[in-house]
């Protein structure tokens, strides 16, 4: 067995005995490597607390059998140093922990036809409420579709609501998507999304820090959120209440330096209150389209948007005096320039000069010294 395969076996074992994002394990693995940590756990050289808490799992762990078994199911285990490993995850080493979770994962279990590192190289994380409104779901699908048309994959958590809308928007456009699960990649969660997860695997990747067979738990959801934040070039939040998992993902994004963006909703919408707070606190940039998202996440000078402007109307081009005279010309019952002069509060000469200019522009008509607004004006 080569050194690399020994390291892979050790890291696979650590995912089987430890919890995703366990700071003690992720830090130890970062310092000395997976093989040494796994050896220390088995020999109880890492302290009674860690080894004692994990004793039952350590005794039951059989990483070699696990790796062989899942390989037949099309599941692979990716570790740092592999070509498929997303280097962007290394940013988690420099991020403060949240809820006692953090660090670079010791490895990732992946199911899918695409190489994970290539898919996330151009990707945006999109998260939000499970109880999405019709507005939120429609906006999310449109954003993901627009990003897919520009070659950007969506990264999300495969949950109900905003997550599934993001995945579907990308896939419908012929793009790619990545789903991060809090359970094993062999378990469709939620169950109703079995077909969606298969669709994602065909056109991207289904990924988890937890080993195959693992069940979803609250702490695993929270640990999973840091991966969603780290894998994308930026984090977009569509509908999130003041206390929500989506805001947890946004906080991870802020912690590792990812641009965070928010899609505004109605000011009376509780599902958008968390998004509005992010925007108000200047923690998130307000975005309303895929083009605006690309402008935020791109290098300076790329994907710059021109502000939309309406073509100026004839009245927009008038000087102040011309506007005064125009306002003094009646729409019916034509009057003399002298009367217009009095109404406009301008000298007779200035009034007549303005009237001739307005006539040339087709805004007023004059005959026998009497003036009237033209129909086009």
The verdict on whether omega for the bond into residue 190 sits within 30 degrees of 0, i.e. cis, is: yes
Secondary structure (3-state) at 116: helix
pLDDT at 307: 61
Please state the domain extents for the chain.
Answer: 1-67, 73-297, 314-373
Report the half-sphere exposure of 217 (CA within 13 A, side-chain side). Answer: 11
Q: Count the neighbouring beta carbons within 10 Å of the beta carbon of residue 20.
A: 26
Task: Give the H or E element holding residue 261.
Answer: strand 260-263
- CB burial of residue 142 (10 Å; 0-12, 13-18, 19+): middle
CATH number of 314-373: 1.10.10.10
Secondary structure (3-state) at 88: helix
pLDDT at 2: 35
pLDDT at 3: 41
Q: Is there a contact between 136 and 162 (Cβ–Cβ < 8 Å)?
A: yes
Task: Give the H or E element holding residue 365.
Answer: strand 364-367
Cβ neighbours of residue 84 under 8 Å, at least 6 residues apart? 76, 78, 110, 115, 116, 117
pLDDT at 51: 59
- Tokens standing for residue 266: 């109605």
Q: φ and ψ at 11, to 5 degrees?
A: -65, -40
CATH number of 73-297: 3.40.50.450
Q: What is the DSSP string of 342-353?
A: HHHT--HHHHHH
Q: With a cut of 50, which residues of the chain have pLDDT below it?
A: 1-4
- CB burial of residue 258 (10 Å; 0-12, 13-18, 19+): buried
pLDDT at 375: 72
Closest residue by Cα to residue 86 from 67, 111, 104, 103: 104
How many residues are there in the chain? 377
Q: Count the neighbouring beta carbons within 10 Å of the beta carbon of residue 107.
A: 24
pTM of this prediction?
0.82
């Amino acid at each position: 067995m080569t050194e690399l395969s020994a390291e892979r076996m050790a890291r696979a074992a650590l995912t089987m005995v430890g919890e995703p994002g366990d700071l003690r394990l992720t830090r130890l693995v970062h310092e000395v490597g997976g093989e040494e940590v796994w050896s220390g756990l088995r020999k109880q050289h890492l302290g009674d607390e860690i080894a004692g808490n994990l004793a039952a799992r350590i005794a039951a762990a059989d990483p070699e059998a696990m790796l062989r078994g899942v390989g037949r199911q099309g599941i692979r285990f990716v570790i740092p140093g592999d070509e498929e490993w997303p280097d962007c995850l290394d940013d988690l080493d420099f991020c403060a922990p949240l809820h006692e979770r953090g660090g670079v994962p010791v490895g990732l279990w992946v199911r899918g036809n695409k190489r994970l590192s290539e898919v996330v190289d151009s990707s945006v994380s999109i998260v939000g409420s499970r109880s999405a409104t019709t507005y939120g779901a429609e906006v999310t699908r449109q954003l993901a579709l627009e990003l897919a048309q520009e070659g950007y994959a969506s990264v999300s958590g495969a949950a109900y609501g905003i997550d599934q809308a993001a995945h579907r928007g990308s896939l419908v456009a012929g793009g790619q998507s990545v789903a991060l699960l809090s359970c094993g990649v062999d378990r469709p969660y939620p169950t109703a999304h079995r077909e969606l997860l298969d669709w994602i695997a065909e056109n991207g990747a289904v990924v988890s820090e937890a080993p195959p067979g693992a069940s979803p738990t609250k702490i695993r959801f929270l640990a999973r959120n840091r991966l969603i934040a780290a894998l994308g070039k930026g984090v977009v939040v569509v509908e999130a209440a003041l206390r929500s998992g989506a805001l947890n993902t946004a906080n991870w994004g802020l912690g590792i330096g990812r641009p965070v963006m928010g899609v505004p909703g109605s000011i009376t919408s509780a599902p958008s209150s968390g998004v509005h707070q992010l925007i108000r606190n200047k923690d998130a940039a307000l975005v309303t389209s895929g083009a605006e998202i690309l402008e935020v996440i791109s290098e300076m000078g790329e994907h710059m948007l021109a502000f939309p402007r309406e073509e100026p109307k004839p009245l927009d081009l008038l000087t102040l005096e011309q506007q005064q005279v125009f306002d003094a010309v009646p729409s019916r019952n034509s009057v003399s320039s002298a009367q217009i002069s009095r109404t406009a509060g301008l000298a007779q000469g200035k009034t007549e000069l303005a009237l001739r200019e307005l006539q040339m522009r087709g805004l007023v008509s004059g005959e026998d010294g009497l003036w009237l607004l033209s129909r086009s004006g």
